[in-house]
Structure 1
Amino acid sequence: MIDAGSGPAPSYSADDIRVLEELERRVRWLSTWTIHNANHLRDNPDGVKVGGHQSSCASINTILTALYFHVMNEHDRIAVKPHGSPVMHAIQYLLGNQSREKLEAFRGFGGAQSYPSRTKDNDTVDFSTGSVGLGAAVTNFAALTQDYLRMKGITPQDHDPGRMIAIVGDAELDEGNVYECLMDTWKHDIRNCWWVIDYNRQSLDGVVNEHLFRVIGRMFRSVGWNVITVKYGRLQMDAFKKPGGRLLKKFINECPNDVYSALAFQGGPAWRRQILEDTRADEPDIGELHDLLNSYSDDELHAVMSNLGGHSMEAVLHAFDQVKDDRPTCFIFYTIKGYGLPLMGHKDNHAGLMTPEQMDAFRKAQNVREGHEWDKFEGIKVPEAELASQMAKAPYAKRKTYRLADQRVPIPEALTQSRQERTSTQEAFGRILNEIARAGGMLADRIVTTSPDVTVSTNLGPWVNQRGLFGRYEKEDTFRERKVPSAQKWTRSPKGQHIELGIAENDLFLNLAALGLSESLFGGRLLPIGTLYDPFISRGLDALNYACYMGARFMLVATPSGVTLAPEGGAHQSISTPLIGMGQPGLLGYEPSFADELAEIMRYGFNYMQDEDGGAIYLRLSTRPIDQPKRELDDETKRQITLGGYWLKKPDPDASLAIVYTGAVAPQAISAHEALADRFPGAGLLAVTSAARLYNDWQRVERARLKGTDGGEMAHIEDLLEPLAEKARFCTVIDGHPASLAWMGSVRGHSVAPLGVDNFGQTGTPRDLYDHFAIDAKSIEAAALRVPKH
């Protein structure tokens, strides 16, 4: 436990404390009023509760005020816990970075967001938060990204690295991804990372377990973190020094969490009664305890007992002053949920809202005049000039921009690879990366790969052989040193370009999120590539969604995919992942069949990751080797490949049949098309390389038509299907969920027979499973021949 009076010389003065406490008081008012305005004063024609979390905000007011107005510098980055959003907005409002209009529209359309958002709030948000646990964990990977950039000289070395700071609710530590990230980043010896835990001991439904702080402390110490626990505030520390203070401290230490919360709600008389009831009458200094309690009025006693470390500006600043190196540090600040509000400590206060009557009393207590609630410095007790001076000298205020920029990485007109007569898209991916590594240059230097312990089995091995593993320290490959033959020659060093992770898909996506924001966070552009097994995307889907929500740019290579991975069985065979590639905002899915398609899509993807209106890209690849077409792609075919589809066999005008395929089932589709050639001369064979791009483009045009702003534009899928007769029929086939392509019949009103996989796979051979799931050539042929009912 930290004694607020011990340690090195403080970075703050008594005047600083006085002014910061006034700022804290104003932040508490503004955050509380913002939520009240949204729920009780703003028009609400739907009658649905707007919400907000006044109590969760109140428990971190002191901590965030100290960080923003005294501790953080311009290079620090912070993830504010989801329910602390109004506090963050209030602070930025005082700093001049947030508008009153946005606060008045909090949780409304176009207003300040319910939870901090990089993409929907203004630029002051470093990391989005919302799904609990992820905002905390991403700071670890941001610290790793910062190390990566600095060790390679990509970002400037003329200043100390920033601290990646996470404000974490204690209940967030129930999330499993927290422990995964701590373990993985421990392996990489991360630095400059702070987790600030709001230990208010209340979650949404109840009170957390007793002595959780000890478990938290042990957990962080076990992965090499420094742990600073701040339990007592200045008022309590002063009380402990008085006669009777020993017994008062003993009561505080032994009082159960739920009782302490209830007493915080009940106030002074309840505190006085409980302290005496819980203290043995034969204690040697019991009389001194009585005298100590009698020296306080009820209000004064309530102030002392609720003055836990996280609510004492001096104790908070003192704790932050203890950190003198770059070792990752966990701060455990004792707080009370709802501190300073009528809801303080009540077990139902998580989503509770102050009533208009409570707010009116609170307004008067804060010396806020009616009609002046939004005034920045209304009701302050120190000269406004002192507040302005404190804000101006805050290191954080020196931040010139919240979004940094770096030069664009030039991408060659074509990505080369050794041509193979028969290969899989997974093998081709490895060869393309290998050729990029061999060629060198800026593209090779700015690519960083990462994988959850499936580096070799996703064909990253050749890349890592050439570019090495990333690590803080040099470490030779032991097998190579001992002259043991191995295809993998992996040396670890700061020069390496592959970040090895444990078996944790959440960590993969959080790492990709941080790497994919490297330019705007740190001023160094990277082109991250993450590989994993396609069926296990679902394990980390929350973290993938989080990465996309923040606008991170990366290339996700998921392989192997589908029931084509036949001998592995259902647990390793993906079904619905093509729909993720279509339905996940910020992620553009592709599933090529041939190596030359993949090369063009990767070239496009490296550009798309850098485009202002671009995003992340998802490649669904296969281990199944198939015969490769003998061709040289012309510019128009390349363009159509990246647009999502092209005719491998263009239909004749008014053709009555087409076969549409995606990915590894190309040979089956080609075989079925050939078998039907005599009965349907001129039938088309359509290669869909991206159902997602085709669908998104079609929907974009359709929405423009609804608004009358399309200007006669046609979607690419409309152009592709234009040659078919009005009553033509086509069959779609994919080693994945059939809904991925079934929608295409709606484009021009054609009849569709969708084939695919909509159940768990089994072990067998690809031939067995293709036959079982009816995605083989005979099934495609039969589906194409079936006469539709009109």
Structure 2
Amino acid sequence: MSGIAQSPGAAVGGDGPGASRLDCLCALERKVLWLSSWMIHAANHLRPARDGLKVGGHQASCASLATLMTALYFDVLGPADRVAVKPHAGPVLHAILYLLGRRPRAALERFRGLGGAQAYPSRTKDGGEVDFSTGSVGLGVAMTIFASLVRDYARLKGLSPDDGPPGRMVALAGDAELDEGNVFEALLEGWKHDVRDVWWVIDYNRQSLDSVVEDRLFARIDGLFRSMGWDVRTLKYGRLLRGAFERPGGEALRRWIDNCPNSLYSALVYRGGAGWRERLRRDLGSTRGIAELLDGRDDDALHALMTNLGGHDMETVLEAFRGVASDAPTCFIAYTIKGKGLPFAGHKDNHAGLMSPEQMDAFRRSQGIAPGEEYEPFAGLDVPPGTLRAFLDSVPFAARTRGGPPAATVAVPAALEAPEGARMSTQEGFGRILSEVARAPGEFAGRVVTASPDVTVSTNLGPWVNRRGVFGRSRRADAFREEAVATAQKWEVSPAGQHIELGIAENNLFLLLAALGLSGDLFGARLLPVGTLYDPFISRGLDALNYACYQDARFVLVGTPSGLSLAPEGGAHQSVITPLIGIGQPGMTAFEPAFVDELATILAWAFRHIQEPGGGSAYLRLSTRPIAQPARELSDADRDAIVHGGYWLVPPGPGAGLAIACAGVVAAEAIEAHARILEDDPGAGLLIVTSGGRLHAGWRAASRARAGGDAAARSHAEGLLSALPPDARLVTVLDGHPATLSWLGAVARHRVVSLGVEDFGQSGDIPDLYRAYGLDADAIVAALARACLEY
């Protein structure tokens, strides 16, 4: 375990009189609270409001974590530790990194402005000092569980270059984040995988956005974590309160606080010393020792005593953090006060509250900071600057290497072999391609890691798992095979396995893919992650998928089976909008191949793309429906067209009046419809769209380039559609929402009719459903006729 060996009272070098480590930490705690409050204030009250909008910020949420984050970053965290910071405490992180010399002053001055520190910690916008992006509450918390799993995956396989301490995965969580269901899904998955070295520090300030959290909510939190194998440490009282409990009347005071409703306690915090005095006299005035406790303190001292909770007492916090000696997952329930030290502390409406200019001026004076010195690192502190600088230079976190060399790129074969077969589905082809990858020795196959939420076999990962095994920290044999029970699936678990099996929770899949996709940056181990799930259930985990892409995690996502083509399963298992998700999700390139040789080409490209600077993740929408495969040998030009988004299966002839553009499994119907219209239009073309997203992105980029003066800029989509005369009619069709391809008509101003699915599906067979929803060859031919009549 990494950390500081010195006691809190150990002296720190520097100019001026000696200061203890505790003195330095307490001084820096004050500065962290000031800087986080000031940058929010300056953004809202000092920066010109050109658009009239409130900039926002969360001064109260920052205040409740100031002590805990100061202790962690300036004393406890080591270079190998990774942290997910509570979203609303982002300014505290910015302040800490500024004091450590890892964030420029300008970033704080432009907080929530273009080019400044982000509202919520962001890997991609704030730089490499942020380990995990946070923002959508609960996701960053759960991410630490999967990061721990990935860290151990890499270390147990010898892929991580670091042979030092494994590093802790730390989440700083607001108590209201535990309302998010994904947190508990992740807890259970973490227990199943026996995760190690995970810390969750819960900022238990008992206030959410709208109100004070009900007391009952946390009544069982201790037992919940313990049932999942966690060590739970509660930081409820600071040293002042613990000392008061030892005096006459102290036990009665403890019982009163323990029984005090959260709402009443918060209200009294806001009222201050006079409010505490009035209430305690009313409830405990006749108890021996209480009068002395009250009379011996003025209002300020009484307020300081009654708000001396464990999460704000530096010595208590350090004792708790330093006292962890095992690698068991640990939950710290740190009692805090939302807005501690600020004028609206405890008020139920303080979540988005901002100090007024008058309140901020009073706060500035109380901190001993002169006007113009608001961003000075050590202004107003009672520890000499040289001492503090020496202290900051010595903290373990300061030794972290900034932006180390990227993990080495894994060589990918120029082309993956497409399996042979006259009829095949893309889902079957995917399984057979990965099976062949699994057969091959070498680094490429060794870096592929797959994951699935209990649909491994039904998404055709079975052959891969049979050859590469299931990952687990310890070895477990396949009981069915040991008992000689016939089974096609070999389920042997060991540290050598390369498949991570999850329960049925799509959020967990996407968070695991995020952790796997960041393994190179976080742990120096390049992995090639592939995740599979049923395509309609992408929507269930969409927030986590967006979260993964937002922090530039790199992975291949396979959604299968998709669309109405999973005919007998009905609407609950038939996806409609996922092609639009694929085309609109930043950081991810979506493909919907029609044929297996396209899929092999796209997979090879995807494994390279997820490793490239400026690359991203890839999403493959596949089908269970077998269709006839073309007998052909792809050239380099063919493969290039496939990965750029499309190609003419049948190029249009001179003067062509009609063309069909199709994506995915409905290529069979498009081919049939195309054959039927050749008698009327021998030059009709048939365009296979492998990626509507790539075509659309390229078209938009070329349009912007031309607007910027590059008259020669031309996109792949424009090149394809230039083969059609301007008056040609175009029909687009896919087993998904028609808007996915309807924009093709705007590229060269062709008249377009778009076919697809806009309603929930139902059970049936493919001929019935394709006819009912207008995807069959008859519907395509009718659409072509309509296009000629309507335009």
For residue 280 of structure 1, report the CA deviation from its aligned partner.
6.7
| Aligned-partner SS, 2:657 | strand
1:674-685 equivalent positions in 2, closer than 5 A: 674-685=675-686
| Aligned-partner SS, 2:294 | helix
Counterpart in the other structure of 1:734 = 734
Asked if structure 1 preserves the Cα contact closer than 8 Å seen for 2:529 and 2:556, the reply is: yes
Asked if structure 2 preserves the Cα contact closer than 8 Å seen for 1:564 and 1:624, the reply is: yes
For residue 385 of structure 1, report the CA deviation from its aligned partner.
1.8
2:85 is equivalent to residue 84 of structure 1: no
Asked if structure 2 preserves the Cα contact closer than 8 Å seen for 1:213 and 1:332, the reply is: no
| Aligned-partner SS, 2:176 | helix
Counterpart in the other structure of 2:541 = 540
1:81-160 equivalent positions in 2, closer than 5 A: 81-160=86-165
| Aligned-partner SS, 1:344 | coil
Counterpart in the other structure of 1:639 = 640
Counterpart in the other structure of 1:760 = 760
Cα distance between partner residues in 2 of 1:622 and 1:287: 77
2:41 is equivalent to residue 36 of structure 1: yes
Counterpart in the other structure of 1:191 = 196
2:713 is equivalent to residue 713 of structure 1: yes
Q: 2:445 is matched by which residue type in structure 1?
A: A
Counterpart in the other structure of 2:14 = none
Counterpart in the other structure of 1:586 = 587
1:675-707 Cα shifts (integer Å, max 9, x gaps) = 001110111100000001000111111122223
Asked if structure 2 preserves the Cα contact closer than 8 Å seen for 1:587 and 1:618, the reply is: yes
Cα distance between partner residues in 1 of 2:739 and 2:548: 25
Asked if structure 1 preserves the Cα contact closer than 8 Å seen for 2:452 and 2:532, the reply is: yes
Asked if structure 2 preserves the Cα contact closer than 8 Å seen for 1:197 and 1:330, the reply is: yes
For residue 418 of structure 1, report the CA deviation from its aligned partner.
3.1
| Aligned-partner SS, 1:146 | helix
Cα distance between partner residues in 2 of 1:158 and 1:583: 41
Counterpart in the other structure of 1:214 = 219
Q: 1:276 to 1:622 in 2, by over 3 A?
A: same
1:173-206 Cα shifts (integer Å, max 9, x gaps) = 0000000001111110000100000000000001
Q: 1:673 to 1:307 in 2, by over 3 A?
A: same
For residue 674 of structure 1, report the CA deviation from its aligned partner.
0.4
2:282 is equivalent to residue 277 of structure 1: yes
Cα distance between partner residues in 2 of 1:26 and 1:198: 20
1:73-131 Cα shifts (integer Å, max 9, x gaps) = 00000000000000000011101111111111111111100000001112210000000
Cα distance between partner residues in 2 of 1:214 and 1:71: 29
Cα distance between partner residues in 2 of 1:403 and 1:341: 39
Cα distance between partner residues in 1 of 2:592 and 2:212: 48
| Aligned-partner SS, 1:119 | helix
For residue 11 of structure 1, report the CA deviation from its aligned partner.
4.5
1:232-251 equivalent positions in 2, closer than 5 A: 232-251=237-256
Asked if structure 2 preserves the Cα contact closer than 8 Å seen for 1:404 and 1:519, the reply is: no
| Aligned-partner SS, 2:601 | helix
1:280-335 Cα shifts (integer Å, max 9, x gaps) = 73xxxx23111111111110111111110010000110110121011000000000
1:463-519 Cα shifts (integer Å, max 9, x gaps) = 000000000110110000001010001110000000000000000000000000000
Asked if structure 2 preserves the Cα contact closer than 8 Å seen for 1:55 and 1:352, the reply is: yes
Counterpart in the other structure of 2:744 = 744
Counterpart in the other structure of 1:484 = 485
Cα distance between partner residues in 2 of 1:479 and 1:150: 30
- Give the gaps of 5 or more residues in structure 1: 1-7
For residue 416 of structure 1, report the CA deviation from its aligned partner.
1.4
For residue 653 of structure 1, report the CA deviation from its aligned partner.
3.1
Counterpart in the other structure of 1:699 = 700
Q: 1:767 is matched by which residue type in structure 2?
A: P
Cα distance between partner residues in 2 of 1:157 and 1:479: 38
Cα distance between partner residues in 1 of 2:520 and 2:5: 37
Q: Report the more deviating stretch, 605-614 or 401-410.
A: 401-410
Q: 1:246 is matched by which residue type in structure 2?
A: E
Cα distance between partner residues in 1 of 2:5 and 2:50: 56
Asked if structure 2 preserves the Cα contact closer than 8 Å seen for 1:123 and 1:403, the reply is: no
For residue 9 of structure 1, report the CA deviation from its aligned partner.
9.4
Cα distance between partner residues in 1 of 2:6 and 2:237: 18
Asked if structure 2 preserves the Cα contact closer than 8 Å seen for 1:74 and 1:398, the reply is: yes
Counterpart in the other structure of 2:15 = none
Counterpart in the other structure of 1:260 = 265
Cα distance between partner residues in 2 of 1:225 and 1:571: 37
Q: 1:465 is matched by which residue type in structure 2?
A: N
Cα distance between partner residues in 1 of 2:433 and 2:757: 30
Q: 2:455 is matched by which residue type in structure 1?
A: V
2:179 is equivalent to residue 174 of structure 1: yes
Cα distance between partner residues in 2 of 1:418 and 1:29: 63
Counterpart in the other structure of 1:605 = 606
Report the count of equivalent residues: 778
Cα distance between partner residues in 2 of 1:37 and 1:723: 57
Counterpart in the other structure of 1:381 = 382
Cα distance between partner residues in 1 of 2:405 and 2:185: 29
For residue 713 of structure 1, report the CA deviation from its aligned partner.
1.3
Q: 1:9 to 1:717 in 2, by over 3 A?
A: closer
Asked if structure 2 preserves the Cα contact closer than 8 Å seen for 1:54 and 1:353, the reply is: yes
1:200-211 equivalent positions in 2, closer than 5 A: 200-211=205-216
2:421 is equivalent to residue 425 of structure 1: no
Q: 2:747 is matched by which residue type in structure 1?
A: V
Cα distance between partner residues in 2 of 1:157 and 1:362: 45
2:514 is equivalent to residue 509 of structure 1: no
Counterpart in the other structure of 1:305 = 306
- Give the gaps of 5 or more residues in structure 2: 11-19
Cα distance between partner residues in 1 of 2:415 and 2:708: 38
2:226 is equivalent to residue 226 of structure 1: no
Asked if structure 2 preserves the Cα contact closer than 8 Å seen for 1:126 and 1:402, the reply is: no
Q: 1:503 is matched by which residue type in structure 2?
A: I
Counterpart in the other structure of 1:771 = 771
Q: 1:755 is matched by which residue type in structure 2?
A: L
For residue 10 of structure 1, report the CA deviation from its aligned partner.
7.5
1:377-412 Cα shifts (integer Å, max 9, x gaps) = 110101112211221111100001245521111011
Q: 1:582 is matched by which residue type in structure 2?
A: I
Asked if structure 2 preserves the Cα contact closer than 8 Å seen for 1:665 and 1:733, the reply is: yes
1:609-635 Cα shifts (integer Å, max 9, x gaps) = 011011000000000000100000011
Cα distance between partner residues in 2 of 1:78 and 1:278: 43
Q: 2:150 is matched by which residue type in structure 1?
A: T
Cα distance between partner residues in 2 of 1:784 and 1:225: 63
1:363-512 equivalent positions in 2, closer than 5 A: 363-402=364-403, 405-512=406-513
Cα distance between partner residues in 1 of 2:497 and 2:5: 41
2:780 is equivalent to residue 780 of structure 1: yes
Q: 2:541 is matched by which residue type in structure 1?
A: G
Asked if structure 1 preserves the Cα contact closer than 8 Å seen for 2:248 and 2:288, the reply is: no
Instruction: Using structure 1 for the length normalisation, give the TM-score.
Output: 0.97
For residue 712 of structure 1, report the CA deviation from its aligned partner.
1.1
Cα distance between partner residues in 1 of 2:223 and 2:243: 29
Asked if structure 2 preserves the Cα contact closer than 8 Å seen for 1:138 and 1:511, the reply is: yes
Asked if structure 2 preserves the Cα contact closer than 8 Å seen for 1:643 and 1:690, the reply is: yes
Counterpart in the other structure of 1:4 = none
Counterpart in the other structure of 2:555 = 554
Cα distance between partner residues in 2 of 1:552 and 1:489: 30
Decide which of 49, 52, 60 is 2:57's aligned counterpart. Answer: 52
Q: 2:740 is matched by which residue type in structure 1?
A: S
1:555-606 Cα shifts (integer Å, max 9, x gaps) = 0000000000000000000000000110000111000010100000000000
Asked if structure 1 preserves the Cα contact closer than 8 Å seen for 2:705 and 2:713, the reply is: no
For residue 249 of structure 1, report the CA deviation from its aligned partner.
1.7
Cα distance between partner residues in 1 of 2:230 and 2:300: 39
Q: 1:10 to 1:329 in 2, by over 3 A?
A: farther
Counterpart in the other structure of 1:12 = 8
Cα distance between partner residues in 1 of 2:582 and 2:549: 12
Asked if structure 2 preserves the Cα contact closer than 8 Å seen for 1:10 and 1:321, the reply is: no
Asked if structure 2 preserves the Cα contact closer than 8 Å seen for 1:192 and 1:328, the reply is: yes
For residue 245 of structure 1, report the CA deviation from its aligned partner.
1.9
For residue 279 of structure 1, report the CA deviation from its aligned partner.
2.1
